[in-house]
Structure 1
Amino acid sequence: MSANAQPAGEAGASDSQRLDKWLWAARFFKTRPLAVEAINGGKVHVDGQRAKPGRTVRPGTRLSIHKGQLEWQIEVRAVSKQRRPASEAVLLFAEDEASRLKRQALVQERRAGPSLRSEQRGRPTKRDRRRLSELTGK
């Protein structure tokens, strides 16, 4: 763990952090404005309740994060004042096993499903354009 990340057991003046900064440092969002937008949009819940970007999180805080179809149920383990590499950001939280399995199943299902690109055939043919003209009356 880096010098900027503190384990959950350590007590100190800097054992809390703004929610938007923590989400950015833990690499859930690429920028802080994206994190703020998600929080204000109700996509992030702290201990089961909607929160504001300035809400402080401490080790032990439970978060629910929704991004698209994916959902994470996590517990904050540490805070980091800087955005560190992904290998270190993973140490900042612990994800529930059920949440991880559900998210992995969704990702596998999406990968196994038919690709939208394979269903597209490109530009309509002359025959297709004639049929469209008949339907629209043009």
Structure 2
Amino acid sequence: MTKSAASPAAAETGHQRLDKWLWFARVAKSRTLAATAVTEGKIKVNRVKAEKASQAIKIGDVVTSRLHRNVRVLKVLGLGERRGPAAEAQLLYEDLTPRAPPAGAAADTAEPMAWGERAPGAGRPTKRERRQIDELKRST
């Protein structure tokens, strides 16, 4: 007896709870964290903020998450039955997230840089750079 990708209940109704799907798809580490993310407004379904963790999603919906300082856009391809390995979880969605520009391209454009990034040579020197500066001053 083999198990299908969708649960029997999900197969009959064609939808699944949002928090369960986020957990099955490995977007959130636990179902509680998935439910919390939904109530905090970090999850959108079809460009509309999800109000409740029990909101039903179906195949073809687009889920946008703002977790872990990243924005991910995922198209629902399947409804999960269990939280399996990562390879199994990736079959539940198609990643529509736009690719980030190369690191050097961000300094050339007028767009702001991502959080925690800085242009090369900007800001305070690192510890290694300070040691190199000190060594250079001592040698002259």
TM-score tier after normalising by the smaller chain length: 0.5 to 0.7
CA distance in 1, matches of 2:14, 2:66: 25
State the alpha-carbon separation in 2 of the partners of residues 13 and 81 from structure 1.
Answer: 13
TM-score (norm 2): 0.65
1:1-138 mapped onto 2 (5 Å cutoff) = 3-6=3-6, 12-51=11-50, 52-96=52-96, 99-102=97-100, 119=126
1:125 matched residue in structure 2: none
Aligned-partner SS, 1:21: helix
TM-score w.r.t. structure 1 length?
Answer: 0.66
1:12 Cα shift? Answer: 3.9
Partner residue in 2 for 1:126? none
2: CA distance, partners of 1:53 / 1:103: 33
Identity of aligned residues (%): 30
Taking the aligned partners of 1:44 and 1:82, their CA distance within structure 2 comes to: 21
Q: Shift in Å at residue 43 of structure 1?
A: 0.3
State the distance in 1 between where 2:102 and 2:46 align.
Answer: 23
SS at match of 1:33: helix
Deviations 1:82-105 (A, max 9, x none): 111100000000011xx2412997
Amino acid at match of 1:27: R
Contact 1:63 1:73 in 2 (8 A): yes
Q: 2:99 aligns to what SS in structure 1?
A: helix
| Structure 1 portions without partners, runs of 5+ | 121-138
Deviation of 1:119 (Å): 4.9
Q: Please give the alpha-carbon distance, in whole angstroms, between the structure 2 residues aligned to 1:3 and 1:104.
A: 42
**C-alpha distance in 1, partners of 2:58/2:66?**
20
The 1-side partners of 2:81 and 2:102 are apart by 29
Q: What's the CA shift string for 1:95-125, capped at 9, x where partnerless? A: 11xx241299799x96xx8xxxx957xxxxx
State the distance in 2 between where 1:104 and 1:23 align.
Answer: 29
For the aligned residue pairs, the C-alpha RMSD in angstroms reads: 3.1
